[in-house]
Amino acid sequence: MRNKVYPTFDDAVADVPDGASVMLSGFAGPGTARNLIAALLRQGASRLTLIANTPGRWGDGRIDGGALIEQGRVAMVRAAFTASPHPSAASPFTELYEAGEIEAELMPQGTLAERIRAAGAGIPAFYTPAGAGTETALGKETRVFGGREHVMETALPADYALIRARRADRFGNLQYHRSQRNFGPVMARAATVTIVEVDEPVVEEGAIDPDHVHTPGLFVDRIVVVPPDGIREEPPNR
């Protein structure tokens, strides 16, 4: 079987074409594949569609989806935010979006997570009460179940997923640490090609208890270990 462990982040993202849809795991930091995103930035692919919780940010020296947007590589964002999660903090993305310079699809966070899950689960559509009766449901089919209005939402797949985990074995079985998990497991299932950066060295198969695998290896295509000089997740003030 093909070796899934790649020597560098650049090798792992080398084939991402212009126009690709790319899922980025991560929630408020943890789970963000910052090293793979940095490599994608160097690689140069453009007209990307990003699927992520937020469009990210920039200007604070941290690499996330915002770095791709800042460099003009992104045509479309599908997310639970176009403005900053913290209403008092401005997001540079907001200005671009409000000025009509970039496209976005805004949806409830649970709808985002469930649409991604559906894509990896062979479920083309489902009904959710979230967003019913609101502006986000405009143009969408609605239907009443149990006396309550629901919105029909469709599966959201992607060409690539860039995710971060704590540890992988050579088969690609993954474990996440705490809040690092967030979108990783569902994105790994929903993307055609799943690329993961891991904090710890790759272990042999059998080193991870089968009961404690969070993402089975058959969903994982490429693994890169974050080297000692790679980007690590750190609290803002460290």
Partner 1 sequence: MTEQRPLDRQTMANRAAMEFQDGWVVNLGIGIPTLCSNFVHPDRRVIYQSENGLVNYGPLAAEGEEDPNLVNAGGQYVVEMAGMAVQDHADSFALIRGGYVDVTALGAYEAAANGDFANWKVAGARGGGIGGAMDLAVGAKNVFLLMEHTTKEGKPRLVERCALPVTARGVVTLVVTNLGLFRVAPEGFVLEEIAPGYAPSDVQAATDARLVVSPSLREFRRAG
Provide the mask over 46-75, with x wherever binding to partner 1 is found by CB under 8 A and - wherever it is not: ------------------------------
Q: Which of 85, 177, 202, 216 binds a copy of itself (CB under 8 A)?
A: 177
Nearest alpha carbon to residue 50 among 93, 87, 8, 90: 93
Q: Residue 28: phi, psi to the nearest 5?
A: 55, 35
Which of 16, 74, 108, 163: binder of partner 1 (CB under 8 A)? Answer: 108
Q: Segment 208-237, which members bind a copy of itself (CB under 8 A)?
A: 210-212, 214
Applying CB under 8 A, which of residues 82, 160, 196, 231 lies at the interface with partner 1?
82
Q: How far is the CB of 147 from partner 1 (least distance, A)?
A: 12
Of 24, 15, 82, nearest to 49 by C-alpha is 24
Angle at 192 between CA 75 and CA 163, to 5 degrees: 75
SS3 220: coil
Which residue number, 42 or 178, has a Cβ lying nearer to partner 1? 178
Stretch that binds a copy of itself, among 83-91, 97-105, 117-125, 199-207 (CB under 8 A): 117-125
> Among a copy of itself, partner 1, none, what does residue 175 contact (CB within 5–8 Å per kind)?
a copy of itself
Binding flag, residue 86, partner 1 (CB under 8 A):
yes
Say whether residue 129 binds partner 1 (CB under 8 A). Answer: yes
- Are the CB atoms for 152 and 125 separated by under 8 Å? yes
* Distance from C-alpha of 135 to C-alpha of 225, rounded to nearest angstrom: 43
Q: Are 30 and 180 in contact (CB under 8 A)?
A: yes
Which residues are registered as beta bridge partners of 163? 196
Interacting residues with partner 1 between 179 and 198 (CB under 8 A): 179-186, 189
The reply on whether position 145 binds a copy of itself by CB under 8 A is yes
Question: Closest distance between a copy of itself and the C-beta of residue 124, in Å?
Answer: 4
CB neighbour list of residue 156: distance below 8 Å, 6 or more residues apart: 51, 78, 112, 115, 116, 118, 119, 190
Q: Which of 64, 114, 169, 197 binds a copy of itself (CB under 8 A)?
A: 114
Asked if 15 and 39 touch (Cβ cutoff 8 Å), the reply is no
Binding site for a copy of itself (CB under 8 A): 114, 118, 121-129, 143, 145-146, 150, 154, 175-178, 181, 210-212, 214
